[in-house]
Structure 1
Amino acid sequence: MSFLAALPASAQNVTSQFQTWLQNDLWPDARARGVSQETFNAAFGGVSPNLKLPDLVMPGQSSQTPKVQHQAEFGAPGNYFAENIVSGVTGGGRSRAGQLGQALGAIEGRFGVPSGILLAIWGRESGFGNANIPHNAFEVLGTKAFMATRKDMFREEVLAALEMVQRGHVSVAAMKSSWAGALGQPQFLPTSYLKYAVDADGNGRADIWGSQVDTLASIANYLASHGWVKGRDWGFEVTVPESVSCALEGPDRGKRISDWAAMGVTRVSGRPFPDHEARQEGFLLMPAGRSGPAFIVTPNFYVLKDYNESDLYALFVGHAADRITYGDRRFAGSWGQVAKLYRSDIAAMQRGLERLGYDVGGADGLPGFRTRRSIGEWQARNGRAPTCFPDAELVRALG
């Protein structure tokens, strides 16, 4: 029995369309980029679309906001900072800081990114190289380039993956990825590998799969290339008085850190902000609104967000880096019990805010800073105490 005959009729149809797309649509672009027929056939031999991947749009259908949130980075904030996860990264980071001290010192000197940050990203992304990364990258990237909600982006990624093989950076067999198509210990997408991967151990190959030193240097190069400011911190946990609106959050509403302090924003440690930071710009971050810890962050925080477009991810990395470098100190503020909402519910609330003229950053079901501060502004205008975070009552009122 053939593979196609064993599939349900709908899956057979998608698989047939996928094979036609590979040959008639993707292959001409790959060939134009110098990919050989041999490489292309090796990459996609036996590959069919993986319909179990999230965020897919079946051919002929329109995109809809998923009901369930698949990415932990955009779920309930408190869950992302479970102590067993944080302590695993921080403990593992401290032990490797000792083992790799010389290499880390050289990498920090070359790129200007602190060792704690590099170790925190490495630990979060792949458990310091110990995570199981099981998927066929060409199956994942090909499926997403064919039928994902962001298929144009994934088209670039699958073409970059083919270039990686064509240039001899990696074999087809070694191209294993996450369900999102990320590769190796730093979990780089293929375009990031081609731009930022570094051969730090001098063996002639940027090996983000097997080399710890190449992995750390590649992460550092990525951050430095995205604007990491040497000598600045990532941010500080703070106490925000009720007189300071949570709707002041965001990278476009920055103030000098000394001005935040003059408004009554104080570090939870009780110490003043460092002089060199107080003179520079900082930004309010309240990832759970009034239901969680608050922070004044620097531009380096947003460089961390370039690595993974999530406030929680960037905050995790900064927090874990501090604990690796300075010792285990948990957040002073606690994460409140926020409502367990479906992503589709949040999208409906966002559309309600958009109808009222608020900029929520797109009705995607993800409560980013534009959504959080829009909630706070709407609450204040309607005589409610601003919380700056979605809840079931807001969904009913605005959805």
Structure 2
Amino acid sequence: MRPWMNALWALIGLIVMLYTPASLAASRPQVEAQFQQWLDNDLWPEAKAKGISRATFDEALKGVTLNFDLPDLVMPGEKPQTPQKQAQSEFGSPGKYFNDKTVNNVTSGGTARAGQYARILQSVEKTYGVPGEIVLAIWGRESGFGSVKIPYNAFAVLGTKTFLATRKDMFRKELLAALEIVEKGYIGAGSMKSSWAGALGQPQFMPTSYLEHAVDFDGDGKRDIWNSVPDTLGSIAHYLAQYGWQRGRDWGYEVTVPESVSCALEGPDQGKPFSTWGKLGIKRVNGRPFPAAEAKGEGFLLMPAGRHGPAFIVTKNFYVLKEYNMSDLYALFIGHVSDRIANGAANFTAGWGDVGGLYRSDIVALQRALEKKGYDAGGADGFPGFKTRRSIGDWQSKQGMAATCFPDKALVAAIR
């Protein structure tokens, strides 16, 4: 066959692959063959350009096959599925995030390890300024203090995600970072285990975070967040320090907020000195004054369930915790459990209200309705973050309603 005919048939084959309808999508063996070609013809040239040796590339990816059991994959020829399950999942009180079993397990585990690793934690705090109880709370939440199995081959996960997931560019960056970790000798390829999402070791760092934040705290020449407790604790603290943890400041305080203070004042862009919040009538629930050192320090109102749950004045350190996991509830969990580890603090004084009966799709519709009315709801993702909450409060106030700053059935119906 003439060369130009070969090229023509190759082009036709590519067109067929790209435009095949879902009903005729490639079989798994075909996709696997495409993956192996992609490793050699697409990924390897970029890895080589980034200084990865062929020996490292082969060590990490030899024998690696696609893991079709991972979530959020899109087979060639198929269209990404809309997140119907999430949209139709029940939306309930944020209080579910603070179930007694999880809080108590992380608290008791952290309390026990506070004594066991006291010397290491003191050294970590001296080095990075992050209290040991904060580090312990994160360690416990992320991997059950190293007890949770991390079973997956990181290269199989990251390779599969890069080739088949919807966020290919993000996972490609992480896959190349994982290769760099092996190239630099931080850990052998066969020992690099991850979660199903590609997060590594006991702190659950993505590979790029490992390169930026993992440290060799036990001085053995390795940054071993899989097996070394000192490296794990030091790496968590180093992560927070690099994101701006302020030495000597707490994360925040549970408070009472009088009805005269709008819940729409919430958010990291509406900070006020602690003394100003105090003049507005906001007080700590334990009756103690805010620390004198915080009088001129900036604090931020946090009401994760609006008027249906506990309220807090938090410091910038709260938002540093949020850098670990971009969720108000995650950061609040870490702060709350750290208090319980440090001084046996009780549960939140205010309870979480009943705001059930809605679905994520209802929240999405609410957010879209608010945005159509000119409010910044922070996007229509089905999760009522602070921008959604305060937009609700502003809308309620303009309607002459008592501001609750949280969605419920009547509110969804009214704003629609």
Q: TM-score, normalised by structure 2?
A: 0.87
Q: Is the 8 A contact 1:31 1:37 kept in 2?
A: yes
The answer for the alignment partner of 2:372 in structure 1 is 355
AA partner of residue 61 (structure 1): K
1:360 CA drift (Å): 1.6
Q: Which is greater in Rg?
A: 2
The answer for the alignment partner of 2:85 in structure 1 is 67
Q: Is the 8 A contact 1:65 1:364 kept in 2?
A: no
Separation of aligned partners in 1, 2:411 and 2:194: 38
> Which of 382, 385, 390 is residue 373 of structure 1 equivalent to?
390
CA separation of 1:364 and 1:150: change in aligned 2, threshold 3 A: farther
The alignment partner of 1:67 has SS state of helix
1:71 CA drift (Å): 12
1:75 CA drift (Å): 7.2
Q: Residues 66-99 of structure 1: CA distance to partner in whole angstroms, max 9, x if unpaired? A: 5328999x97421111111111111111111111
1:51 CA drift (Å): 4.4
Over the matched positions of the two proteins, sequence identity in percent amounts to 63
CA separation of 1:396 and 1:317: change in aligned 2, threshold 3 A: same
Q: Is the 8 A contact 2:181 2:187 kept in 1?
A: yes
1:344 CA drift (Å): 3.6
Q: Is the 8 A contact 1:266 1:272 kept in 2?
A: yes
> Which of 235, 247, 256 is residue 264 of structure 2 equivalent to?
247
Separation of aligned partners in 2, 1:340 and 1:141: 38
Q: Residues 196-250 of structure 1: CA distance to partner in whole angstroms, max 9, x if unpaired? A: 1111111110111111111111111111111000011100001111111111110
Separation of aligned partners in 1, 2:32 and 2:375: 42
The count of aligned residue pairs is: 391
The answer for the alignment partner of 2:333 in structure 1 is 316
- Could you list the runs of 5+ residues in structure 1 that have no partner in the other structure? 1-7
1:278 CA drift (Å): 2.1
Q: CA RMSD in A?
A: 2.5
Separation of aligned partners in 2, 1:137 and 1:102: 32
The alignment partner of 1:68 has SS state of helix
Q: Is the 8 A contact 1:65 1:365 kept in 2?
A: no
Q: Note if 1:171 corresponds to 2:171.
A: no
The alignment partner of 1:284 has SS state of strand
The answer for the alignment partner of 2:14 in structure 1 is none
Separation of aligned partners in 2, 1:69 and 1:175: 34
Q: Residues 287-307 of structure 1: CA distance to partner in whole angstroms, max 9, x if unpaired? A: 111111110000000000011
Separation of aligned partners in 1, 2:325 and 2:391: 23
Q: Note if 1:151 corresponds to 2:145.
A: no
Q: Residues 334-356 of structure 1: CA distance to partner in whole angstroms, max 9, x if unpaired? A: 11222254434322322222222
The alignment partner of 2:338 has SS state of helix
How is 1:193-204 mapped onto 2 (pairs within 5 angstroms)?
193-204=210-221
Q: TM-score, normalised by structure 1?
A: 0.90
The answer for the alignment partner of 1:3 in structure 2 is none
How is 1:98-247 mapped onto 2 (pairs within 5 angstroms)?
98-247=115-264
Separation of aligned partners in 1, 2:87 and 2:135: 27
Q: Note if 1:22 corresponds to 2:39.
A: yes
Q: Is the 8 A contact 2:124 2:237 kept in 1?
A: yes
Q: Is the 8 A contact 2:264 2:393 kept in 1?
A: yes
Further displaced range: 383-392 or 189-198? 383-392
1:393 CA drift (Å): 3.7
Q: Residues 240-261 of structure 1: CA distance to partner in whole angstroms, max 9, x if unpaired? A: 1111111111000111111111
Separation of aligned partners in 2, 1:158 and 1:70: 33
1:324 CA drift (Å): 0.6
Q: Is the 8 A contact 1:137 1:177 kept in 2?
A: yes
The answer for the alignment partner of 1:4 in structure 2 is none
Separation of aligned partners in 2, 1:340 and 1:146: 39
